[in-house]
Amino acid sequence: MDLNDYRTQLDAIDNQMAELFRQRMSVVKDIADYKKANSAPVLAPNRERDILYRVTGLAGEELEEYTKILYSTILELSRDYQEDRLTTGESPLCRKILESVDTTGDFPSRAVVACQGIEGAYSQIACDKMFALPQIMYFNRFDGVFRAVEAGMCRYGILPIENSSAGSVTEVYDLMEKYNCKIVRSLRLKIEHCLLANPGVKLSDVKEVVAHEQALNQCSEFLKNNKIKITVFSNNAAAAKYVSESGRTDLAAIASAGCADLYGLKVLTGHVANSDHNYTRFICISKQMEIFHGANKITFVASTSHRPGSLYSLIAKFATRGLNICKLESRPIPGKDFEFRFYFDVEASVRSKDTQTILSQLEKEDFFTFLGAYSEVS
């Protein structure tokens, strides 16, 4: 026999497997209808455990692990199919989402916007890129931005959520838990950190650098190589202003080049970040759910049960429908040991029936929060 003969055999076996799979899913459909009529849960862990034990034993020791993977996938698909059958009509969340899609319209050009920091901060730069005519209100801390939006003082707030080299801004993730705000847009901004000092200061004079913690992390190699003391500041622009007002010749700030013009400083050196490929992703939040035209990404937070494969089951809901999870971030649940919630960014349109089905299923879970549907600009 040659390779083509073997492939012919496989084709015949695959045809049989496809027909048997169709038959199996037909029975699964009947089971789903029975469970729906009798208010029975989809998940039957003892039953699934018995199936895995039986079929792996039939496959033999050599194929035991492969069979476990195959049937775990089949069982996951069966559960997903049952949940589809049990999910009828629009869920409260999906109704709210579709109402927002129909009523929101285009992203506004002008608005009152809350930003952390002062003039010259990267949040202000991001704000000016998102809005043509923003009226900016500045706050010292990230939670001030959330509180301003929640209280209705500002319609929107701009916050950094992650950096390409320093990772996620964990404080913002934690505040997303605390405040009931929605993401309405995001922006990918190239960050070009510079070392700023008072006129006449040379690089060799600098003994201390002030900046936000994220900026210090992003420029750690430069600071280590030059053996410079670091001091954490609430904001890079505020650090630049502090250097200007101090008059010190041994002090510098890490901030944007624009801050040099704003606060009468000079650029000692540019490109002090660890990587030239340094981007920060900013989110725009709102108190109300606003889904603007062109929204192609969703963000939500969910927790999973303590059973093997629970996170995989959640991820599989998107994989089986061809939806790309572009970010998965875990955060510890306050007050619980070694328990986590997961933040998902998924490339998906809320107009899609597949997306609506998944969201309807997730809405039934013990902990699930939809954080917004939006588009990302640059």
What pLDDT, on a 0 to 100 scale, did the predictor assign at position 288?
93
Residue where a domain terminates, one of 250, 270, 290 = 270
Q: Residue 176's pLDDT is what?
A: 85
pLDDT of residue 113: 98
Q: Which amino acid is at 51?
A: I
**Are 283 and 161 found together in one domain?**
yes
* Number of compact structural domains in the chain: 3
The CATH number given to whatever domain includes residue 26 is 1.20.59.10
CA dist., res. 350 & res. 101, Å (int): 8
Indicate if 179 and 199 belong to the same structural domain.
no
| Pairing label, strands 251-255, 194-197 | antiparallel
64 and 36 assigned to the same domain: yes
pLDDT of residue 314: 83
CB atoms within 10 A of CB 167: 12
Q: Is 107 an annotated catalytic residue?
A: no
The catalytic residue among 280, 299, 304, 369 is 280
For residue 127, the one-letter residue type is: C
Note if 367 is an active site residue. no
Q: What is the 3-state secondary structure (H, E, C) of 167-220?
A: EECHHHHHHHHHCCCEEEEEEEEECCCEEEECCCCCHHHCCEEEEEHHHHHHCH
SS3 label, residue 165: coil
Give the residue from 70, 86, 102 where a domain finishes.
86
350 and 287 within one domain = yes
The domain that holds 309 is classified in CATH as 3.40.190.10
| 98 membership: H or E segment, kind and range | helix 92-104
Identity at 200, one-letter amino acid code: G
**Residues 224, 335: one domain?**
no
- In whole angstroms, what is the distance from residue 273 CA to residue 4 CA? 56
Q: Assess whether 234 and 219 both reside in one domain.
A: yes
> In the listed set 86, 107, 138, which residue is the last one of a domain according to the structure?
86
User: Given this model, what pLDDT does residue 96 score?
Assistant: 93
Choose, from 131, 233, 282, 344, the residue flagged as catalytic: 282
**How far is Cα 2 from Cα 163, in angstroms, rounded to an integer?**
54
Q: Check residue 371 and give its pLDDT.
A: 94
> 96 and 244, same structural domain?
no
Domain co-membership, 181 together with 306: yes
Identify whether the C-beta of residue 275 lies closer than 8 Å to the C-beta of residue 165: yes
Q: Check residue 44 and give its pLDDT.
A: 86
User: Domain residues for 259?
Assistant: 194-270
Q: Which residue has the tokens 């991001």?
A: 126
pLDDT by residue, tens only, the chain of 378 residues: 889 999 999 999 999 999 999 999 999 999 999 998 898 888 888 999 999 999 999 999 999 999 999 998 899 889 888 888 887 656 888 999 999 999 998 999 999 999 999 999 999 999 999 999 999 999 999 999 999 999 999 999 999 999 887 788 888 988 987 898 999 999 999 999 999 999 999 999 999 999 999 899 999 999 999 989 999 998 999 999 999 999 999 999 999 999 999 999 999 998 899 988 889 999 999 999 999 999 999 999 988 766 667 787 788 888 888 899 999 988 887 767 667 888 999 999 999 988 988 898 888 877 889 999 999 998
Q: Are residues 266 and 120 in the same domain?
A: no
Q: How would you classify the pairing of strands 266-270 and 208-212?
A: unpaired
> What is the DSSP code string of 340-368?
EEEEEEEE--TTSHHHHHHHHHHTTSSSE
Q: Are residues 283 and 365 in the same domain?
A: yes
Q: What share of the chain is helix, strand, coil (3-state, %, to 5)?
A: 45, 25, 30
The answer to whether residues 183 and 307 belong to one domain is yes
> In the chain, count of helices (H) and strands (E)?
13, 16
Which three-class secondary structure state does DSSP give residue 53? helix
Same domain membership, residue 157 and residue 132: yes
